Structure 1
Amino acid sequence: MKKLCFYINSDWYFNLHWKERTLAAKEDGYEVHVVCSFEDLNIMSDFKTQGINVHNSKMSEQSLNPLILVKDLIKSFNIIRVINPDVLHCITIKPCIIGGLYAKIFRKNLVMSFVGLGRVFSSTSKKYKIIRKCVSFFYQWLSVKSNIFMIFEHEKDRADLISITGVSPEKTMVIDGAGVNTEEFKYSPDPQNTIPVVLFASRLIWSKGLADLVQAKAILEERGVRFDLIVAGITVKNDPDAIPLDTIEKWSDSKIIRWLGKRDDVKYLIENSNIVALPSVYAEGVPRILIEAAAVGRPSIAYDTGGCSSIVINNLTGYLVEKNIDDLSSKLECLIKNKDLRLQFGKNAHARVNSHFCSKYIIKKTLGIYKRFNK
Structure 2
Amino acid sequence: MVIAHQKKTHLLYFVSEDWYFVSHRLSLARAALEAGYEVTVVTRVKDHGDEIRRAGIRLIDFPLKRAGLNPLLEMSFLLRLWRIYRRVRPDIVHQVAMKPVILGTVAAKLAGVPGIVNALGGLGFVFSSSSLKARLLRPLMSVLLRFSLNSRHGVLILQNADDSELLVKRGFVRRSAIRLVRGVGVDPSAYRVDVPAAGPCLVILPARMLRDKGVYEFVDAARQLRDEGVPARFALVGEPDAENPASLKESELNAWAKEGLIEYWGWRDDMAEVMAQSHIVCLPSYREGLPKVLLEAAASGRAIVTTDVPGCREVVRNGFNGLLVPVKNAEALAQAMRTLVLDADKRRQFGSNGRYLAETAFSARQSTEATLAIYRELSSIK
- For normalisation by structure 1, the TM-score amounts to 0.95
Q: Equivalent of 2:37, from 1, 8, 30?
A: 30
What is the identity, as a one-letter code, of the residue corresponding to 2:174?
S
Where does residue 125 of structure 1 map in the other structure?
131
| Partner SS, residue 203 of structure 1 | coil
| Partner SS, residue 53 of structure 2 | helix
2:86 equivalent to 1:72: no
Question: 1:135 Cα deviation (Å)?
Answer: 2.6
Question: 1:13 Cα deviation (Å)?
Answer: 1.5
RMSD: 1.6
What is the identity, as a one-letter code, of the residue corresponding to 2:152?
S
Give, in whole Å, the separation in 1 of the partners of 2:75 and 2:371: 31
2:310 equivalent to 1:274: no
Give, in whole Å, the separation in 2 of the partners of 1:306 and 1:62: 24
Segment of structure 1 superposing worse, 85-94 or 129-138: 129-138
What is the correspondence of 1:45-124 to structure 2 with a 5 Å cutoff?
Answer: 45-108=50-113, 109-124=115-130
Q: Equivalent of 1:152, from 152, 158, 172?
A: 158
What is the correspondence of 1:307-318 to structure 2 with a 5 Å cutoff?
Answer: 307-318=311-322
Segment of structure 1 superposing worse, 326-335 or 9-18: 9-18
Where does residue 16 of structure 1 map in the other structure?
23
The count of residues paired between Structure 1 and Structure 2 equals 371
Unmatched tracts of structure 2, length 5 or more: 1-7
What is the identity, as a one-letter code, of the residue corresponding to 1:284?
E
| Partner SS, residue 236 of structure 1 | coil
What is the identity, as a one-letter code, of the residue corresponding to 1:123?
S
Q: Equivalent of 2:251, from 242, 246, 267?
A: 246
| Partner SS, residue 190 of structure 2 | coil
| Partner SS, residue 118 of structure 2 | strand
2:306 equivalent to 1:295: no
Give, in whole Å, the separation in 1 of the partners of 2:183 and 2:82: 28
Query: Would you say the 8 A contact 2:81–2:107 is kept in 1?
Result: no
Give, in whole Å, the separation in 2 of the partners of 1:145 and 1:246: 44
Where does residue 4 of structure 2 map in the other structure?
none
Where does residue 331 of structure 1 map in the other structure?
336
Query: Would you say the 8 A contact 1:140–1:164 is kept in 2?
Result: no
Give, in whole Å, the separation in 2 of the partners of 1:234 and 1:166: 32
Segment of structure 1 superposing worse, 357-366 or 198-207: 198-207
| Partner SS, residue 365 of structure 1 | helix
Query: Would you say the 8 A contact 2:226–2:261 is kept in 1?
Result: no
Question: 1:192 Cα deviation (Å)?
Answer: 4.1
Give, in whole Å, the separation in 2 of the partners of 1:266 and 1:167: 35
Query: Would you say the 8 A contact 2:183–2:292 is kept in 1?
Result: yes
Give, in whole Å, the separation in 1 of the partners of 2:149 and 2:219: 43
Give, in whole Å, the separation in 1 of the partners of 2:244 and 2:104: 23
Give, in whole Å, the separation in 2 of the partners of 1:147 and 1:293: 36
Query: Would you say the 8 A contact 2:145–2:172 is kept in 1?
Result: no
Q: What is the percent sequence identity of the aligned residues?
A: 29
| Partner SS, residue 194 of structure 1 | coil
Which whole-Å deviations, capped at 9, do the CAs of 1:52-108 have from their partners, x for residues lacking one?
111111111112211211121111111222111000111001111111112233342
What is the identity, as a one-letter code, of the residue corresponding to 2:39?
V
What is the identity, as a one-letter code, of the residue corresponding to 2:145?
Y
Query: Would you say the 8 A contact 1:10–1:61 is kept in 2?
Result: no
Q: Equivalent of 2:142, from 133, 136, 142?
A: 136
Unmatched tracts of structure 1, length 5 or more: none
Give, in whole Å, the separation in 1 of the partners of 2:324 and 2:160: 16
What is the identity, as a one-letter code, of the residue corresponding to 2:367?
I
Query: Would you say the 8 A contact 1:277–1:302 is kept in 2?
Result: yes
2:179 equivalent to 1:178: no
| Partner SS, residue 349 of structure 2 | helix
Question: 1:18 Cα deviation (Å)?
Answer: 0.9
Segment of structure 1 superposing worse, 249-258 or 338-347: 249-258
2:288 equivalent to 1:284: yes
Give, in whole Å, the separation in 1 of the partners of 2:147 and 2:64: 24
Give, in whole Å, the separation in 2 of the partners of 1:192 and 1:332: 18
Question: 1:265 Cα deviation (Å)?
Answer: 1.3
Q: Equivalent of 2:210, from 177, 197, 205?
A: 205
Question: 1:118 Cα deviation (Å)?
Answer: 2.2
